[in-house]
Structure 1
Amino acid sequence: MGRSLRMWAAIIIGLSAALWSLGSAIAHDARPAYLEITETAPGRYGLLWRTPLLSGMPLPVRLGLPANVRNVTAPAQRELPDSVVERRLVTVDGGLAGRRIDFIGLQGTITDVLVRTQTLDGDHSTTLVRPSRPWIDIEAAQGPLTIAGAYISHGVEHILLGFDHLLFVLALVLIVRDWRVLLWTVTAFTLAHSITLSLATLGFAQVPGPPVEATIALSILLLTYEIVRIGRGEASLTARWPWVVAFSFGLLHGFGFAGALTELGLPKGDIPLALFSFNVGVELGQLAFIAVVLGVIALARRLPLPGLVQRYALTATTYALGGLAAFWFVERVAGFWT
């Protein structure tokens, strides 16, 4: 593919992603709400309702429980740095199976609700509730396909709203010119972040979240520096062995993915399925993004391009990515003390 075409596609995608990211802080922070229902005795349930904080304010969504639900203990709230958690015990004549729980106000948000239920006999179910259908009909048990679908869906959403991860992938696309090498590079990145995501989620490796997020921003900045060096004709480790660099940074990005999955939680008894499904969702979202990037590049081949754009597009895109990554890095490091 021609250099000028690649540069034109790069500036469209890079600057669009930067503007989308800067203008969508709320969307980036739109972590799902979470409802956990645990049956502790026939007709008796423990409820855990967690709503994320958006710009310091609780998500404007409240539970609409069936009319025959009675509190055994009063709702007890606890405010965490990123969410508000409410716990209570309730009784329900005839049980919750077949009953509907509404999420009042959810239709006015862009946030999903992850619902996990556990019956007295140990059966689990996991469902993702969306704003377009803000309720759930409780079933006695759900199969593994429901669990897999919920975690695949959230994996896709996490990567598509994780602009730092996407811009890292975009930087790789700008560096790797051969699509076969790009395939191996992306595969190495996926393998690496799947390893650390699994280790962190299962509790075998623990890394503090804020330093991980800051270092992820730094990884994008380092790749933009590599793009500049390659443009100058200088030797570059990333250009020579891009899969090695992608694998190394992928280990770091996996800890970032783990933070989101830890917030969601894993269903007891279905941990391997949920973990695998989340990884599949992340990979599907990543491949969809790369397909869009390559599609725009293909489209750019048919466009008449001004000479000025051909000359400066790659440089402008690189510095836009680097500037955004530098801003994120400084912001996240400053957040260590706030």
Structure 2
Amino acid sequence: MRYWRVTLLVLAALILPRQLDAHEATLGVLEFREVRPGAFVGRWTMEPSIGAARVDLRVPPHCFLRLPEMNCGEKGLVGPITITNLGADMSAVLIKVIPIGGEPRSYTISSANPVVSLLGTSDPTLQTWVELARTYVNYGIDHILLGADHLLFVLGLIWIVGGGWRLVKTITAFTVGHSASLAAAAFGLIGVPERPLNACIALSIVFVGVEIVKQQRGEAGLTARYPWAVAFTFGLVHGIGFASALAGLGLERRLLPAALLFFNVGVEIGQLAFVLLVLALIWAHRRLDAVLPRWGDALPAYAIGSVSMFWFFGRLLRVLAAT
């Protein structure tokens, strides 16, 4: 007997508490652009589902701030900046400083570390790297755990492949695939429009749902026969979707490799935590040794397929509306 109650429980947890969309950005971007010596214009260039008025922003003592204008005088924009009250909707803030005659500088603030010291140089310090690691690992974890479509695809893989080393190899292939395409997209080597890509991601989940139905009918589907190849192929698609989370940040190119690495580490931590959670629920279900009706076996596959088709048609409509 397959673990249909476990699947339905995880499915409900993924789709009910939030809107039926995925990969929402949780990183705000606050840009300070110097318009004349010591004078800046500040604006939020990325602000996910949170009002700027709810964020407590404090600038260095010698700076006078009244958004969108800020005047720091002869000292310039150096010293501590504090952002508090980030809340659950914004896990971190990327601060971009664009001086008139110098290189742009980037700093990161998180709810755990709400203070950053702005320097008058673009050379990264040890503090910069530590803050970058802390921020982007957390950002990657948030991004994957809020990405219902990605987790639903992983859930389908677990259902088809089962446990043991076969599952380890399948998840590893999926990781290699989305890590490679994430890096390629982040460095601009490949580019796919975000809306059509999201529709394709939804179709990948539909494919997994169909494969589950085939398996239940006693047929050996493509995923059952070649799980690593299927996981790697669709991992490439999902990885480009992950890259969209970094594309709009405008990170300095010198910081991009480290940010990409830390973000990917966070994604893998979140994905591993999800896989372990599902396996723990399956183990608990086995221990209960419950007798379930046979008609219940088909519910997870059709639930996964129905939700993903709903996503696909919604995203397809967005693509058509944009043309």
Q: Return the TM-score normalized by structure 2.
A: 0.84
Matched residue, 2:199: 214
**Does residue 114 of the first structure (1) align with residue 93 of the second (2)?**
yes
- Unaligned stretches of 5+ residues in structure 2: 120-124
After superposing on structure 2, the runs of 4+ consecutive aligned residues of structure 1 that deviate more than 6 Å are 38-42
Are 2:106 and 2:251, in contact at CA under 8 Å, matched by a contact in 1? no
Q: Does 1:34 align with 2:37?
A: no
Deviating more after overlay: 91-100 vs 185-194: 91-100
Match of 2:309 among 313, 317, 326: 326
For 1:139 and 1:101, locate their aligned partners in 2 and report how far apart those are by CA, in whole Å: 10
DSSP-derived class of the 1:13 partner: helix
- Go from structure 1 to structure 2 and tell me whether the alpha carbon gap of 1:148 and 1:124 turns closer, same or farther (over 3 Å shift): farther
CA offset at residue 194 of structure 1?
1.1
Structural RMSD (CA): 3.1
Matched, 1:242 2:227: yes
Cα distance in 2 for residues equivalent to 1:275 and 1:65: 28
Q: How does 1:1-338 map to 2 (within 5 A)?
A: 3-4=1-2, 6-20=3-17, 23-24=18-19, 29=24, 31-37=26-32, 43=38, 47-52=42-47, 54=49, 60-61=53-54, 64-66=57-59, 68-70=62-64, 75=68, 90-92=71-73, 94-102=75-83, 106-107=86-87, 110-117=89-96, 124=105, 126-130=107-111, 135-140=114-119, 141=125, 142-308=127-293, 311-336=294-319, 337=321
**d(CA) in 1 for partners of 2:104, 2:30:** 16
Deviation at 1:34, TM superposition (A): 0.9
Distance 1:313 1:207 in 2: 39
More deviation, 143-152/155-164: 143-152
The whole-number CA distance in structure 2 between the counterparts of 1:24 and 1:302 is 34
Shift, 1:280, TM fit: 1.1
Q: Say if 2:96 and 2:105, in contact at 8 Å, map to a contact too.
A: yes
Q: What code does the residue aligned with 1:164 have? A: D
8 Å contact 1:36–1:49 — kept in the other structure? Answer: yes
Q: Which residue of 2 aligns with 1:84?
A: none
How many residue pairs end up in the alignment?
312
Return the offset for 1:237. 1.3
Q: Which residue of 2 aligns with 1:83?
A: none
Alignment TM-score, normalising by the size of structure 1:
0.80
The CA deviation string for residues 48-103 of structure 1, in whole angstroms up to 9 with x for no partner, is 4224364xx8565456343642479x84xxxxxxxxxxxx6643454444333445
Structure 1: stretches of 5+ with no match in the other structure: 76-87
CA contact (8 A) 1:18 1:320 kept: no
